Amino acid sequence: MDNIPMKVQNQIAMLQQLQQQLQTVLNQKAQYELAVREARKAQEELKDVPEDAEIFVNVGTIMVKQPKNRVSSSLNEKIESLEIRIKSLEKQEKAMQARFEQLSAQVKEALEARKPPEAA
Amino acid sequence: MVKSVEESDVRELQALQMYLNEYTQQGEVLARQLELLMRQRMEASAAIEALKELKSVEEPIVLFPLGGGTTVRAHILDPERVLVNIGADVIVQRTNGQATEYLEDRIRELEALEKKVGESLQNIRAQVNEIARRIETGYEKARGG
């Protein structure tokens, strides 16, 4: 690492940082996707429940009774809001991946250029 | 690192070590997931057993845990009215039979997931073994060279 130019060393550090950021974005996206799946499944389950059935929603440490239509619309809102966040994370992911590829190509090029010519 | 090892070999060994760490970490995550799925499945099985038992007893009296090893006697007023958490913080009232059916479906889903995660874990473990073998061979070569 000592004989690698400072510029390339910086680029490598940026690559590592970018990789960590990308991982964070991917983890967050996976969490939101899981939450959307869970909300959709709950929405499906709700369809089989009679209109007058008792439905409760976890609010902090207590469970509050709510009418079916209200629970259903809050689940829809939750799904919509999570989908928006997922789309935004997908945009970030794409941009980061493009930057990552660009940077790694630059680093690779710089390192290749430093290699001693191979014996014929 | 052994001095006689070529620079390219060193780089390859470093890359292999990196892959090994990465795969080992992935394997640990999958093993934890598998454990969680198994625990959830066992919990669902135990709940089915409890629901069936409550239904079969004429006057269901249970010991309600208060923590610290203390319990109080509790009378289940209506074992037919069961509240089921269907996810996303929503809890719905179901009959005893419907709750049992829901849990049975959940168990089937969990079993399918366990199978998938188990297969991925096996693949990762095979990769880990293969990389470890290649690293070992690399070091052997370095020692011999």
CB B121 within 8 A of CB B28: no
Confidence of residue A117 (pLDDT cuts 50, 70, 90): low
Q: Name the residue among B87, B91, B102 with its Cβ closest to that of A55.
A: B91
Range of the domain at B58: 2-142
Interface test with A, best of B11, B21, B81, B89 (most A CBs within 10 A): B89
Per the structure, how many domains does chain B have?
1
CB B51 within 8 A of CB B100: yes
Residues 6 or more apart from A9 whose CB is under 8 A from it? A1
**Could you tell me the pTM of the whole model?**
0.75
Q: Do B92 and A58 touch (CB under 8 A)?
A: no
Does residue A108 surpass a pLDDT of 90? no
Tokens standing for residue B5: 């090892």
Q: Do A53 and B83 touch (CB under 8 A)?
A: no
CB of A56 within 8 Å of any CB in chain B?
A: yes
**Three-state SS for B81?**
strand
Q: Which residues of B touch A78 (CB under 8 A)?
A: 88
ipTM of the complex: 0.72
Does residue B2 surpass a pLDDT of 50? no
Beta bridge partners of A46: none
Report the alpha-carbon distance of residue A76 to residue A86 in Å, rounded.
15
Residues recorded for chain B? 145
Report the alpha-carbon distance of residue B57 to residue B5 in Å, rounded.
75
Interface test with A, best of B8, B26, B30, B90 (most A CBs within 10 A): B90
Report the alpha-carbon distance of residue A96 to residue B118 in Å, rounded.
32
Residue A55: its H or E element: strand A55-59
Residue B45 pLDDT: 97
**Three-state SS for B61?**
strand
CB of A75 within 8 Å of any CB in chain B?
A: yes
> Which stretches does DSSP call E strand in B45-128?
61-67, 70-75, 81-87, 90-95
Report the alpha-carbon distance of residue B37 to residue B30 in Å, rounded.
10
In the predicted model, what is the mean pLDDT of residues A70-97? 97
In the predicted model, what is the mean pLDDT of residues B90-115? 96
CB of B57 within 8 Å of any CB in chain A?
A: no
Q: Report the CATH fold assignment for A6-114.
A: Helix Hairpins (1.10.287)
In the predicted model, what is the mean pLDDT of residues B9-38? 92
Q: Do B88 and A78 touch (CB under 8 A)?
A: yes
Nearest CA in chain B to A67: B92
CB of A53 within 8 Å of any CB in chain B?
A: yes
Tokens standing for residue B68: 């610290």
Instruction: Name the residue ranges covered by the structural domains of chain A.
Output: 6-114
Taking residue B94's Cβ as centre, other Cβ atoms within 10 Å add up to: 22
Ramachandran assignment for B89, one of left (phi > 0), alpha (psi -120 to 50 degrees), beta (any other): left
CB B21 within 8 A of CB B128: no
Give the CA radius of gyration of chain B: 26
Confidence of residue A118 (pLDDT cuts 50, 70, 90): low
CATH number at residue B14: 1.10.287.370
CB of A84 within 8 Å of any CB in chain B?
A: no
Q: Which residues of A touch B92 (CB under 8 A)?
A: 45-46, 49, 53-56
